[in-house]
Chain A
């Protein structure tokens, strides 16, 4: 298998397989949660559900002061690499081209040097959180194999993307193929691990806000 065969495999059949597993898996998970619904609340509603629900989706982006004080590192580094990851994923021009060709939706991108800098920050952030996980006794105790697995499948697309962009692996078709394959592994693993939080986090926030909103309390 030459590097070109590998790239064409990653760009062609493998991408279709990964996308199919991802779409199937994540929609099974999400629709199962939605169809399950919540226990019926017989008490009279004291407030609206929808508005507080949506407000909470947004409000949870801001850490509460107590959490920030207790886990400054987690909040700062965690936010940094998450934001970096999302921007790099959604605003790098070749990624937009891919999304546009698959979903038919496109938007303006960022200049490559900015994406490059954010990728570097994301990589450093991911390495830092892993070290912190190893060093912090409580975190290490709580960490399962799955936690390390999802760290790896998140780290690899960013790392291979950085290497491919800077052309540090030769020949380039191999570099690009590895990056695409790493992203495909991420997509395949996503619906079956904690990575589902990418979608369920917002659902959980909404339910949380809606429950409190119904009770007339700010969450």
Chain B
């Protein structure tokens, strides 16, 4: 439940020093590509911010996003920021269940009308799909989302499923899954994509919302530019190997051992916009490419259907090989037919002693 305690008070109570807090603000400023002089402004805004009420809705998801957010950075100041958000409804994390849980959501919506943030993870069956594919407390996901966002200040779609439909929406999309932005048109939607997203990104987005009361600048997919502005490829520490043309060709060859570029093993880094290469995972320990695994492009729309994971980015997604053979065979047959016909014509023309003028030849050109 939202209380009147400010974030600053709450942080001090949790034993976070002023110095530690300012360091976080400076890091947040640099993450959002703001000048360092903005750090005190962020600190001031965050200190005075009331704990915002957050309603977290989990729909067709695997809880990986929650795992990412809650576990991977638990001892850091970011975690405390997250703790001191008034997380009023999150059915994986809350103790209440059944009616009590739903009651908590309704209460948070009434008490914080127009001010609360809705965080959604998971896609949901669209309005025309069978609502029975995913329900909570007997309420369809669609109904719950539409009801909850009515009084929301903004909606944050966490994870690729919520942002773009993700795995549930992958071909053939049996549940008619859609993304949050497909349904929410009259409220601002921020997409924090990734499967799962980088934890710092969600705290960064919330910090920006608390600091400026505004939404971050978004890219064409509704993602905050501060975190999704650069591609994995551009910030990849293996980029020099790409530029030199040194590629690992299997997962255990000399190139792979030497840490060469993973393009030929299917790395989708060139088309993927995310902060993995700079922020890394598990408190800055490593990230997929550093672990020798090609980027899957998980923060991009339709990444499940965007070509095979272990095929290069340049490989077509269809089966052009078969089509090539079929079309080639038809072409050859038609060509032979046309050639023989022309040959026959010319034979008859010779027999009839047909003449041709220069003008007639000109016309055939």
- Residues of A in contact with B (beta carbons under 8 Å apart): 2-5, 7-8, 11-13, 15-16, 19-37, 93-95, 97-98, 101-104, 109-115, 167, 171-173, 176
Asked whether, in the complex, the Cβ of A98 is within 8 Å of the Cβ of B302, the reply is no
Asked whether, in the complex, the Cβ of A33 is within 8 Å of the Cβ of B314, the reply is no
B113 CB within 8 Å of chain A: no
Asked whether, in the complex, the Cβ of A98 is within 8 Å of the Cβ of B319, the reply is no
Knowing A2-B301, A101-B316, the reply to whether A112 touches B273 (Cβ < 8 A) is no
Residues of B in contact, count (CB < 8 Å): 52
Residue in A2, A26, A95, A103 whose CB lies within 8 Å of B220: A2
Asked whether, in the complex, the Cβ of A23 is within 8 Å of the Cβ of B245, the reply is no
B121 CB within 8 Å of chain A: no
A38 nearest CB across to chain B (Å):
10
Residue in A5, A97, A104 whose CB lies within 8 Å of B314: A97
Taking CB atoms, residues of chain A closer than 8 Å to B213 are: none
Asked whether, in the complex, the Cβ of A104 is within 8 Å of the Cβ of B244, the reply is no
Residue in B315, B317, B326, B338 whose CB lies within 8 Å of A32: B338
Report the nearest A residue to B330, measured CB to CB.
Answer: A24
Report the nearest B residue to A16, measured CB to CB.
Answer: B318
Residue in B220, B270, B330, B342 whose CB lies within 8 Å of A36: B342
Question: How distant is the Cα of A98 from the Cα of B312 in the complex, in angstroms?
Answer: 8
13 A-B residue pairings within 8 Å (CB atoms): A8-B317, A11-B316, A12-B318, A23-B328, A24-B327, A24-B331, A27-B332, A32-B336, A32-B339, A101-B316, A102-B324, A113-B245, A176-B270
Taking CB atoms, residues of chain B closer than 8 Å to A110 are: 245
Restricting to B269-323, which residues have a CB under 8 Å from any CB of A? Answer: 270-271, 273, 300-302, 305-307, 311-321, 323
B248 nearest CB across to chain A (Å):
12
Question: How distant is the Cα of A95 from the Cα of B316 in the complex, in angstroms?
Answer: 11
Asked whether, in the complex, the Cβ of B335 is within 8 Å of the Cβ of A35, the reply is yes
Asked whether, in the complex, the Cβ of B339 is within 8 Å of the Cβ of A36, the reply is yes
Asked whether, in the complex, the Cβ of B324 is within 8 Å of the Cβ of A93, the reply is no
A111 nearest CB across to chain B (Å):
3
Taking CB atoms, residues of chain A closer than 8 Å to B219 are: 171
Question: How distant is the Cα of A4 from the Cα of B327 in the complex, in angstroms?
Answer: 28
Report the nearest A residue to B315, measured CB to CB.
Answer: A101
Asked whether, in the complex, the Cβ of A19 is within 8 Å of the Cβ of B323, the reply is yes
B264 CB within 8 Å of chain A: yes
Asked whether, in the complex, the Cβ of B331 is within 8 Å of the Cβ of A11, the reply is no
Taking CB atoms, residues of chain A closer than 8 Å to B305 are: 8
Taking CB atoms, residues of chain A closer than 8 Å to B337 are: 35
Taking CB atoms, residues of chain A closer than 8 Å to B258 are: none
Taking CB atoms, residues of chain A closer than 8 Å to B246 are: 111
Taking CB atoms, residues of chain A closer than 8 Å to B323 are: 16, 19-20, 23
Asked whether, in the complex, the Cβ of A31 is within 8 Å of the Cβ of B234, the reply is no
Taking CB atoms, residues of chain A closer than 8 Å to B251 are: none
